[in-house]
Structure 1
Amino acid sequence: MGEGSITKRKGVKNGDSQSIQSQASSTMQLKKQVGLLTAISLIVGTIIGSGIFISPKAVLSNTGAVGPCLIIWAVCGVIGMLGALCFAELGTMITKSGGEYPYLMEAFGPIPAFLFSWSSIIVIKPSSFAIICLSFAEYASAPFYPGCKPPVAVIKCLAAAAVLTITLVNCLSVKLASYLQNFLTVAKLIIIVIIVVSGIVLMIQGKTQNFTNSFEGSTITAGGIGLALYNGLWAYDGWNQLNYITEELKNPYRNLPLAIILGLPLVMACYLLVNIAYYTVMTPTELLQSPAVAVTFGDRVLYPASWMVPLFVAFSTLGSANGTCFTAGRLSYVAGREGHMLKFLSYISIKRLTPMPAMMFYGFIGMIYIIPADINTLINYFSFAVWSFYGLTIAGLIVMRFTRKDLKRPITVPIGIPILMVLVSVYLVLAPIIDKPEWAYLYCVIFILSGLLVYFPFVHIKVKWAQKITKPITMYIQLLMEVVPAEESKG
Structure 2
Amino acid sequence: MQEEQRYGLGTTISMIVGICIGSGIFFKADDILIETGGNVWLGVLVFIIGAFCVIFGSMTLSQLASRTKKRGGVISYYEEFISSKAASAFGWFQLFVYFPTITAVVSWVSGIYTVSLFGLSSSLEFQTAIGFGYLSFFFLMNYVSYKMGGRFQNVTTVVKMIPLIGIGLAGLFWTQSSPSIPSGVALVETSQVGWGWLAALAPIAFSFDGWIVSTSITQEVKNHRRNMPIALAIGPLIVLAVYLTFFLGMVSVVGSEYILTMGDEAINQVGYSLFGASGERILLAFVLIAILGVVNGISLGYIRLPHTLASKGMIPSSQTFMKVKDKTGLSPQSAVFAYVITVFWLGVHYLTQRFDILRGGDISEIAIVFSYLAYTLLYIKVIQLKRRQVITSRFLGYVAPVLGLAGSLIILVGGLFSNPLYSPLFLLFSFMVCVIGYVYGRSQQIRVKEG
Same-fold call, TM cutoff 0.5: yes
Is residue 348 from structure 1 mapped to residue 321 from structure 2 by the alignment? no
Given that 2:370 and 2:430 are in contact with CA atoms closer than 8 Å, whether structure 1 keeps it comes out as: no
Normalising by structure 1, report the TM-score. 0.79
Root-mean-square deviation over aligned CA pairs: 2.8
Amino acid of the residue matched to residue 380 of structure 1? E
Name which of structure 1's ranges 384-393 and 177-186 shifts more when overlaid on structure 2: 384-393
**Structure 1 CA distance, aligned partners of 2:380 and 2:209?**
19
Normalising by structure 2, report the TM-score. 0.85
**Structure 2 CA distance, aligned partners of 1:230 and 1:435?**
6
Given that 2:89 and 2:436 are in contact with CA atoms closer than 8 Å, whether structure 1 keeps it comes out as: no
Name which of structure 1's ranges 375-384 and 75-84 shifts more when overlaid on structure 2: 375-384
**Structure 2 CA distance, aligned partners of 1:368 and 1:42?**
25
1:35-86, Cα deviation, whole Å (9 max, x unpaired): 1221121111111121001111221122111110111112212322111111
Amino acid of the residue matched to residue 111 of structure 1? K
Report what 1:82 is aligned to.
56
Amino acid of the residue matched to residue 452 of structure 1? V
Given that 1:92 and 1:410 are in contact with CA atoms closer than 8 Å, whether structure 2 keeps it comes out as: no
How far did 1:117 drift?
1.1
SS in 2 for 1:371: helix
Is residue 302 from structure 1 mapped to residue 279 from structure 2 by the alignment? no
Equivalent residue runs for 1:319-358 within 5 Å: 319-342=293-316, 343=318, 344-358=320-334
Amino acid of the residue matched to residue 345 of structure 1? F
Given that 1:87 and 1:240 are in contact with CA atoms closer than 8 Å, whether structure 2 keeps it comes out as: no
1:436-486, Cα deviation, whole Å (9 max, x unpaired): 64254234324422543465367615899xxxxxxxxxxxxxxxxxxxxxx
Indicate how the Cα distance of structure 1 residues 402 and 346 shifts in structure 2: closer, same or farther if over 3 A, else same: farther
Among 107, 121, 143, the residue aligned to 1:133: 107
How far did 1:402 drift?
4.3
Among 340, 344, 361, the residue aligned to 2:337: 361
Among 356, 362, 374, the residue aligned to 1:377: 362
**Structure 2 CA distance, aligned partners of 1:174 and 1:412?**
37
**Structure 2 CA distance, aligned partners of 1:445 and 1:140?**
35
Among 221, 225, 239, the residue aligned to 2:211: 239
How far did 1:318 drift?
0.8
Equivalent residue runs for 1:35-114 within 5 Å: 35-64=8-37, 65-114=39-88
SS in 2 for 1:352: coil
Amino acid of the residue matched to residue 422 of structure 1? L
1:260-312, Cα deviation, whole Å (9 max, x unpaired): 34332221111001001111122323212323332231133222232111111
SS in 1 for 2:324: strand
**Structure 2 CA distance, aligned partners of 1:430 and 1:73?**
16
Given that 2:379 and 2:404 are in contact with CA atoms closer than 8 Å, whether structure 1 keeps it comes out as: yes
1:181-207, Cα deviation, whole Å (9 max, x unpaired): 1111122112223322332331xx366
How far did 1:398 drift?
2.1
Report what 1:251 is aligned to.
223
Amino acid of the residue matched to residue 135 of structure 1? V
Given that 1:133 and 1:159 are in contact with CA atoms closer than 8 Å, whether structure 2 keeps it comes out as: yes
How far did 1:411 drift?
11
Indicate how the Cα distance of structure 1 residues 33 and 83 shifts in structure 2: closer, same or farther if over 3 A, else same: same
Among 396, 411, 414, the residue aligned to 2:381: 396
Indicate how the Cα distance of structure 1 residues 220 and 331 shifts in structure 2: closer, same or farther if over 3 A, else same: farther
Structure ID, larger Rg: 1
**Structure 2 CA distance, aligned partners of 1:201 and 1:239?**
32
Equivalent residue runs for 1:161-176 within 5 Å: 161-176=133-148
Amino acid of the residue matched to residue 288 of structure 1? L
Given that 2:84 and 2:441 are in contact with CA atoms closer than 8 Å, whether structure 1 keeps it comes out as: no
How many pairs does the alignment contain?
424
Given that 2:156 and 2:290 are in contact with CA atoms closer than 8 Å, whether structure 1 keeps it comes out as: yes
Q: Which runs of 5+ in 2 are unaligned?
A: 180-189, 354-359
How far did 1:427 drift?
3.3
Report what 2:183 is aligned to.
none
**Structure 1 CA distance, aligned partners of 2:298 and 2:267?**
22
**Structure 2 CA distance, aligned partners of 1:220 and 1:287?**
20
Report what 1:425 is aligned to.
408
Indicate how the Cα distance of structure 1 residues 110 and 317 shifts in structure 2: closer, same or farther if over 3 A, else same: same
Among 163, 184, 190, the residue aligned to 2:156: 184
Amino acid of the residue matched to residue 326 of structure 1? L
Equivalent residue runs for 1:440-479 within 5 Å: 440-453=423-436, 455-456=438-439, 460=443
Name which of structure 1's ranges 187-196 and 270-279 shifts more when overlaid on structure 2: 187-196
Given that 2:79 and 2:86 are in contact with CA atoms closer than 8 Å, whether structure 1 keeps it comes out as: yes
Indicate how the Cα distance of structure 1 residues 34 and 184 shifts in structure 2: closer, same or farther if over 3 A, else same: same
**Structure 1 CA distance, aligned partners of 2:113 and 2:261?**
16
Report what 2:185 is aligned to.
none
SS in 1 for 2:162: helix
Among 134, 158, 165, the residue aligned to 2:130: 158
Q: Which runs of 5+ in 1 are unaligned?
A: 1-27, 210-215, 465-491
How far did 1:225 drift?
4.1
Indicate how the Cα distance of structure 1 residues 274 and 339 shifts in structure 2: closer, same or farther if over 3 A, else same: same
Name which of structure 1's ranges 265-274 and 393-402 shifts more when overlaid on structure 2: 393-402
**Structure 1 CA distance, aligned partners of 2:439 and 2:102?**
28
